[in-house]
Amino acid sequence: MKPQTRRLYFYRALLVIAVVALWQFVSGRWVNPLFISSPSAVFDRLVAFLAGGKLAFHASYTALHAVAGFALGALLGVAVGILLGRLHRLALLLDPFLMGFYSLPKIALAPLFILWFGVGTEMKVLFVAMIVFLLVFLNTYTGVRQVSREQVTILRLMGARESQILRKVVFPSAITWMFTGLRLSVPYALIGAIMGEMLASNRGLGYIVADATAQFDTAGAFAGLTAIIVMAVVLNATVRWAEQRAMPWRQAESDRELSL
Amino acid sequence: MINRPLIEFRRVDKAFQVDSGLRPAVEAIDLQVAPAEIVTLVGPSGCGKSTLLNLTAGLFAPSKGDVLYGGSPVAGLNLKVGYMTQQDHLLPWRSVLDNIALPLEIRGLDRRAREQRARELVALVGLEGFESYYPSQVSGGMRKRCALARLLAQDPETLLMDEPFGALDAQLRLALQIELLRLVRALGKTVLFVTHDLDEAIALADRCAVFAGRPGTIVSTLDVALGRERDLLGLRLDPRYVELTQQLWRLMAPSLKAQGHSPSGAGVPR
């Protein structure tokens, strides 16, 4: 690790300690713990959740909703994005409708999803998939449309068939955009999962937060939020890791010394 | 001197559709290129030199006249040609070696044959040691070498080159010109080479077509009788070369003056 990086981590740790200490200090002294709880209470509650298996139980549901929905939405988004990216006329026809749908706050569809798919796992997975699909689709589509025409022509002159052009140019050059879509989708997948769990469920971290807050159990709510943050960080890191594995040349580009 | 041309332009006009109607790019082009001949197209930018390459490649059809390749009209993409432009169009996600192997993959060679041929080409263009680098990790000159090796892997009958060495410094440019000339002669390739550099236009050419005007047309053709095998390093001292560049300069000066440009350019003999 470079010394600068180590120093950066050190200051970050310092920041966390300072904020937690401040939180602990003001709680009960200046601010009613009913509103902000306190780090020690949240920690106790997390330990209790962990020990009782409650956290694992609810977190596994949230993970299932977010990850399954993410996978389904991403798969469909990439497939449809590539398809429409190649079928220019169809894309032109559908463009205003897709944009209209994209502009709609997806949360507004949650009640309908409950009506259609009930209050079980299917509803959350499909709700997440719908949100992720739109983001991944739009980015992949843009990526496919941005493929350099010169590049494609040069391959055609080499005698490449359509399938070879797809495999050797279109797909790799769309990957960058696809991953942008995937990375953007992580928080939305969680929003979808948590939102679904808050609205209609008795499982998942979203349910924990909603339930604890309803009972004025602020420590429980913060414990749930902490678990959600941890899950978000893990999911983000996973996508980033996959991105680096899938696109080693990008790493090479960013490692290069800056030159103009 | 030409018995059976490989590429032939017969009274070719090409106009492009733009918002305000048709914008002519080239007019009344007559040009014949013999097999294994190097013809350079020289002239100020924007006079339609590249249009001739695109017509030869069959990227679009002429508005009037005929473009013939191997005796028959070019219809659709012409797979007998390979392109090299100022942007090298290497695939950034492929290593140098894999970029060079791309045409071999498309042709369906098996892995071992591909690898072997690509390594031969790496050696030929002097990129040993850089096989596994990504294009973003190597210098501009190496990228050109890689693009040249890829073009040779494709092994087309005719090379269409559109200012391929445009952005390079003089030394590197000379090195690549020497390399190109050696390879093209050894492999018997036909070359259409667009440039706006007068020295390059003479140094590489068997014949040099001089463009002028907007829409562009060929105002003159210069026979460059410097021999098929030539020493590019010593060329500058050759009185015939000096005479030819002077001649080319005199041919180009009127069109530059007409455009209101003051004469500029490297190595202009007085």
To the nearest whole Å, the CA of B225 is away from the closest chain A CA by 32
Structure-block tokens of residue B111: 């892995």
pLDDT tens string A15-71: 999 999 999 999 999 999 899 999 999 999 999 999 989 999 999 999 999 999 999
Q: Determine the residue of chain B that is closest to A171 in CA distance.
A: B93
pLDDT tens string B138-186: 988 899 999 999 999 999 999 999 999 887 888 888 988 998 999 899 9
Q: Determine the residue of chain B that is closest to A153 in CA distance.
A: B59
* Beta-sheet pairing, B158-162 with B21-33: unpaired
Evaluate the CA torsion angle B186, B187, B191, B196 in order and state its sign: negative
Extended strands (E) in A8-79:
none
Predicted pLDDT at B263: 47
The residue-averaged pLDDT of A219-230 equals 93
- Nearest beta carbon to residue A247 from set B83, B89, B93: B93
Q: What ipTM does this complex have?
A: 0.83
* Beta-sheet pairing, B64-69 with B217-223: unpaired
Strand partners, A27: A31
- Nearest beta carbon to residue B106 from set A151, A158, A173: A158
d(CA A149, CA A141): 15
Which of A154, A156, A179 best probes binding to B when mutated, by most B CB atoms within 10 angstroms? A154
Q: How many CB atoms lie within 10 A of CB A190?
A: 25
Q: Which residues contact A60 (CB under 8 A, 6 or more apart)?
A: none
- Interface contact B107-A159, CB threshold 8 A: yes
pLDDT tens string B216-230: 899 889 998 888 888
What burial class does residue B132 get, using C-beta atoms within 10 Å of its C-beta: 0-12 exposed, 13-18 middle, 19+ buried? exposed
Task: List all residues of chain B from 35 to 64 with a beta carbon under 8 Å from chain A.
Answer: 57, 59
- Interface contact A249-B79, CB threshold 8 A: no
pLDDT at A122 over 70: yes
Q: Are A157 and A189 in contact (CB under 8 A)?
A: no
Predicted pLDDT at B262: 47
Q: Are B202 and B191 in contact (CB under 8 A)?
A: no
With a pLDDT cut of 70, the percent of chain A lying above it is 97
* The model's pTM: 0.77
d(CA A242, CA A92): 32
d(CA B42, CA B212): 9
Predicted pLDDT at B259: 62
To the nearest whole Å, the CA of A141 is away from the closest chain B CA by 19
pLDDT at A3 over 90: no
Q: Determine the residue of chain B that is closest to A249 in CA distance.
A: B93
Closest C-alpha among B14, B83, B185 to residue A152: B83
pLDDT at A222 over 90: yes
Closest C-alpha among B119, B113, B169 to residue B144: B169
Residue segments in chain B with a per-residue pLDDT below the cut of 70: 1-3, 255-270
> Is B211 in the A-facing interface, judged by CB distances under 8 Å?
no
Q: Determine the residue of chain B that is closest to A152 in CA distance.
A: B89
Looking at residue A107, what DSSP letter applies? G
Chain A residue numbers with beta carbons less than 8 Å from the beta carbon of B106 are: 155, 158-160, 164, 168
What residue type is B244 in one-letter code? L
Strand partners, B32: B8
d(CA B95, CA B186): 27
Q: Are A196 and A128 in contact (CB under 8 A)?
A: yes
Predicted pLDDT at B252: 82
Structure-block tokens of residue B186: 């050894």
To the nearest whole Å, the CA of A62 is away from the closest chain B CA by 36
> Is A159 in the B-facing interface, judged by CB distances under 8 Å?
yes
d(CA B255, CA B252): 6
What residue type is A231 in one-letter code? M
Bond before B215 cis per omega within 30 degrees? yes
- Interface contact B136-A252, CB threshold 8 A: yes
H-state helical runs in A107-146: 110-117, 121-145
- Interface contact A173-B93, CB threshold 8 A: yes
- Nearest beta carbon to residue A172 from set B77, B93, B156: B93
